[in-house]
């Protein structure tokens, strides 16, 4: 029989091993969603088929507010922000002006965003050596600026996204009725050559169009059409991620056309903002708190089993 002192010594060794050698990726990934718009947004989250749900599928995020969500290893899915939402305080029913998910509720459930919508897409790695894959996509159109910033991690871990206000330079034929979104050519016209379908369903036959070039010129790191993989998909090992809406503090006014019947003045090309890695409400502190909360739970459970 072991004495209580022996059990304590074993527990100390086990706890030390956990703290020193457990890879961060085994605890999953923290997504911190930060709203730098000067208006409220309602993020939506949709796991891919076979991936577990997160804590929520939709919530309200006021200006300058942030919220963190934990995704398990191997999770994949997409995140976006709805705008112009109105929900009845009694029944909870309502809808959004852009990127609505059709649930008529704050929670999106199993519904995705109705185009046009700027999307952040993730596949979280599983295992200590696995890589995360992430991108910001304009394939379903654009409704507001968004950037993705890896926090920690190993490898290239590039900042990506679309910080430009594409609503100001959206071609008239792609502009949504209220001017709060810019549709993709596929959504606007439904032609196979724009949607990469049928005879155009491969990287060799589906090529960039004049319309996708508008998106790519303003936001060179974002997906502009379905096969825009080479310059738009990024990888990072065992990172957390901050998803920032309106990184350049886009106002609702700037989302409307600058001139009637034509494109507005073009914003600067999307050189993603230099302050992004260091802003005060980033994901690093929340990641730190969450990681060590998990370590504490694991350690406490280990001690309980050993005693």
For the stretch 42-57, pLDDT in tens is 999 999 999 999 999 9
According to the model, what pLDDT value does residue 163 have? Answer: 97
Identify the weakest region by mean pLDDT among 61-65, 131-135, 176-180: 176-180
| Burial class of residue 297 (count of CB atoms within 10 Å of its CB; 0-12, 13-18, 19+) | exposed
According to the model, what pLDDT value does residue 175 have? Answer: 96
Domain that holds residue 43: 31-182+209-284
Residue 302 placed within a domain: no
Residue 66 placed within a domain: yes
List the alpha helices (DSSP H) in the chain. Answer: 4-21, 185-189, 192-195, 210-218, 284-306
Reported pTM: 0.77
**Across residues 225-240, what is the average pLDDT?**
95
| Burial class of residue 77 (count of CB atoms within 10 Å of its CB; 0-12, 13-18, 19+) | buried
What is the per-residue burial (b if ≥16 Cβ within 10 Å, else e) of 240-261? bbbbbbbbbebeeebbebeeee
Residue 288 above 50 pLDDT? Answer: no
Q: Side-chain half-sphere of 287: how many Cα atoms within 13 Å?
A: 23
Residue 264 above 90 pLDDT? Answer: no
Residue 256 placed within a domain: yes
- Answer yes or no: are the C-beta atoms of 265 and 168 closer than 8 Å: yes
Percent of the chain topping pLDDT 70: 72
Q: What is the tally of structural domains in the chain?
A: 1
Residue 144 placed within a domain: yes
Residue 36 placed within a domain: yes
Residue 102 placed within a domain: yes
**How confident is the model over 84-141, as pLDDT tens digits?**
999 999 999 999 999 999 999 999 999 999 999 999 999 999 877 789 999 999 999 9
Residue 10 placed within a domain: no
According to the model, what pLDDT value does residue 177 have? Answer: 74
Both tokens assigned to 45: 């989250």
Check residue 260 and report its DSSP letter.
T
Both tokens assigned to 171: 């071609």
The CATH number of residue 94's host domain is 2.60.110.10
């Amino acid at each position: 029989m072991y004495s209580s002192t022996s059990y304590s010594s074993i527990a100390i060794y086990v706890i030390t091993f956990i703290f020193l050698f457990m890879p961060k990726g085994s605890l999953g990934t923290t997504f911190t969603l930060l709203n730098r718009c000067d208006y409220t947004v309602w993020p939506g989250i949709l796991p891919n088929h076979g991936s577990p749900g997160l804590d929520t599928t939709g919530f309200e995020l006021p200006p300058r507010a942030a919220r963190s969500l934990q995704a398990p290893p191997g999770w994949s899915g997409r995140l976006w922000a709805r705008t112009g939402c109105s929900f009845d305080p009694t029944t909870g029913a309502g809808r959004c002006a852009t990127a609505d998910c059709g649930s008529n509720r704050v929670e999106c459930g199993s519904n995705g965003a109705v185009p046009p919508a700027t999307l952040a897409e993730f596949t979280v790695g599983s295992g200590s050596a696995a890589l995360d894959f992430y991108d910001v996509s304009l394939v379903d159109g654009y409704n507001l600026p968004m950037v993705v910033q890896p926090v920690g991690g190993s490898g290239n871990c590039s900042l990506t996204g679309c910080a430009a206000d594409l609503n100001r330079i959206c071609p008239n034929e792609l502009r949504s009725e209220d001017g709060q979104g810019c549709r993709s050519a596929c959504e606007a016209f439904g032609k196979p050559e724009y949607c990469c379908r049928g005879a155009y369903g491969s990287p060799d036959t589906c090529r960039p169009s004049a319309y996708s070039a508008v998106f790519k010129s303003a936001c060179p790191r974002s997906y502009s059409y379905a096969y825009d993989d080479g310059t738009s998909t990024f990888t990072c090992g065992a990172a957390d991620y901050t998803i920032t809406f309106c990184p350049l503090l886009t106002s609702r006014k700037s989302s409307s056309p600058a001139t009637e019947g034509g494109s507005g003045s073009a914003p600067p090309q999307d050189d993603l903002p230099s302050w992004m890695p260091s802003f005060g409400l980033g994901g690093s502190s929340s990641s730190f708190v969450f990681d060590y909360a998990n370590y504490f739970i694991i350690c406490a459970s280990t001690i309980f089993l050993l005693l």
